[in-house]
Amino acid sequence: MSTSNNSGQGFRPDINWTDSSAFNNQHNRQKEKGISNKFSLLEYLSYLQVLSIQERIVKNELDEDLFTIGQTVNGISLGFKVGFFMNIFIAMYILCFWYFTTTEPRISKSIDYAITHIWILLVIVGTLWLGYYSKYVSGLVTKKMVTSLFVGKMVSSIMTGGILVYLFLEAKIYFAQPDLINNMSFLNLQPTLILHNYSVALTLIVFQIIVSSFFAFVMLQFRHFIITGDMKKDYESY
């Protein structure tokens, strides 16, 4: 059986089904009602978990087309939003780098360092959290779901990350202006010290973009080292 609601969020597969033909037939009837299937991120990940269970217990492999075009677009869109959100953290790192790079600490040396670099940690943790869901890949359908999400995130991270790098390099030219100290005295920035540390900051920015763009795919490739989603016999014996 399957259920649907008026918001067009699609079906929820019954995990008691044990044959993929029954699953396919029910889903095909559902597709006649519409294929938009718009999920929030948490709904999408929950749906992934349910389908992962279904793929483990069916007698034969599900057709990857069960994950519709509309759902694929939804997954890419969600991934794009996640990637953009991650790059907000990178933008915050840039702002903190400019503000807290001073001879005399704003608060204290350790706190200034922590405030500046906490954004790098958030990018890494956020990417690890999303990449962890690759453990639910147990067949063609779930692999398509996870890949759609990760592709959207990668595209967004590369696009917005490229813009951030460009703006960061353009700002370097501005910081190099001789009269900048007088023009920005109200911010109490130290252009000379900022420029001295610019290459390190740029390296960390590129590192964050690379992690945000590609590390989830690395976790997908090596998902068996997390918790494998392909051990069907173990699940069936359970």
The pTM of this model reads 0.77
Averaged pLDDT, 21-31? 49
> Is the pLDDT assigned to residue 231 strictly greater than 60?
no
Q: Residue 74 and residue 99: Cα distance in Å, rounded?
A: 38
35-61, pLDDT tens digit by residue? 446 789 999 999 899 888 888 887 666
Averaged pLDDT, 137-154? 92
In 3-state terms, what secondary structure has residue 122? helix
User: By the 8 A CB rule, do 135 and 228 touch?
Assistant: yes
Q: Return left, alpha or beta for 5; rule: phi > 0 is left, psi -120 to 50 is alpha, else beta.
A: beta
Q: Residue 13 and residue 3: Cα distance in Å, rounded?
A: 8
> Is the pLDDT assigned to residue 237 strictly greater than 50?
no
Q: Which residue has the higher pLDDT, 178 or 221?
A: 221
Find, among 26, 27, 20, the residue nearest to 60 by Cα: 20
**Contact residues for 57 (Cβ-Cβ < 8 A; gap 6+):** 15, 17, 18, 232, 235, 236
168-183, pLDDT tens digit by residue? 999 998 888 766 655 5
Averaged pLDDT, 186-202? 88
98-133, pLDDT tens digit by residue? 999 998 899 999 999 999 999 999 999 999 999 999
What is the DSSP code (8-state) at residue 133?
Answer: G
Side-chain half-sphere CA neighbours of 99 within 13 A: 15
Task: Give the CA angle between residues 83, 86, 88 to the nearest 5°.
Answer: 115
